[in-house]
Amino acid sequence: MSTPIEELREIVARLRAPDGCPWDREQTHASLRGSMIEEAYEAVEAIEEADDAHLCEELGDLLLQVVMHSQMASETGRFTLDDVIAGLNAKLIRRHPHVFGEAQAADTEAVLQRWDQIKRAEKGNTHTSLLDGVSGALPALLHAEKVTKRAARVGFDWEGPVQVIGKIREELAETEEAIDQADPDKIEEELGDLLFATVNLTRKLKVEPEVALRRATGKFGRRFRALEKALKERGRKPEECTLAEMDVIWDEIKAKERC
């Protein structure tokens, strides 16, 4: 009797067969790039919802992406799903010598430093910068977080959150100055610096910036929908109201949430 993963591999191979599914046969590594990202984000959404059933389903969809790419590569003799799994197994053991070997790691920071050392050695030390290897394809927020973490590991960092807050105030003042000058390029640059400094603050406070921003956006969306509903009950629409009128209702909604 085949295992579930073996059955999945057989199903995907059947879908990709000449007499299989036309859509699946047409897919390439490039055509599935968007799907890979979409499935990852949907899995994250399920985690945020704390919905185990949803998470189980989304992890399955994410796994399908791995199996599909492996199947396509196997069809031209490049690599197989077994190669993917074997490579991962070996890498996990190799990069955790404090678990599978004699090395010691007292805390998470020590683990991350050793991980970087091992990773750089594996790459043959071809990188000329500590920042090499941070994918430029990452979303800007995540990319900024990873870059600052790399720099911080060699001591290029603020002492604590208070110092970062000072930097944020400095960048905010420079942003205001750029706005006064009405210089679009300068405004963009200074806003970028302000955002980058804020990412550093989230790192120092051990807050995931992507999670924090998604939470804030979700909160805004929830409250705005409540505002629309409240106005509809009064026979009005947002575009028919002044900002001051909407602010009154907005404050009422916030107060109810805090009760």
Can you tell me the distance from the alpha carbon of 249 to that of 92, in angstroms, rounded to the nearest whole number?
53
- Asked if residue 73 lies in contact with residue 79, where contact means CB atoms within 8 angstroms, the answer is yes
Say how many C-beta atoms besides its own lie within 10 A of residue 198's C-beta: 21
Q: Mark out the alpha helices in the chain (DSSP H runs).
A: 4-16, 22-26, 33-49, 52-74, 81-94, 97-100, 108-122, 140-152, 161-181, 184-204, 209-233, 243-258
pLDDT tens for each residue of the chain, 259 residues long:
789 999 999 999 999 999 999 999 999 999 999 999 999 999 999 998 999 999 999 999 999 999 999 999 999 999 999 999 999 999 999 999 999 988 888 888 888 888 878 877 887 766 678 788 788 888 899 999 999 998 998 889 999 999 999 999 999 999 999 999 999 999 999 999 999 999 999 999 999 998 899 899 999 999 999 999 999 999 999 999 999 999 999 999 999 988 7
Helices (H), 75-123: 81-94, 97-100, 108-122
pLDDT in the model for residue 159:
94
21-45 b/e (C-beta count within 10 Å ≥ 16 → b)? eeeeeebeeeebeeeeeebeebbee
> Is residue 89 a contact partner of residue 100, using CB atoms and an 8 Å limit?
no
The predicted structure's pLDDT at residue 100: 93
Identify whether the C-beta of residue 152 lies closer than 8 Å to the C-beta of residue 203.
yes
pLDDT at 76: 96
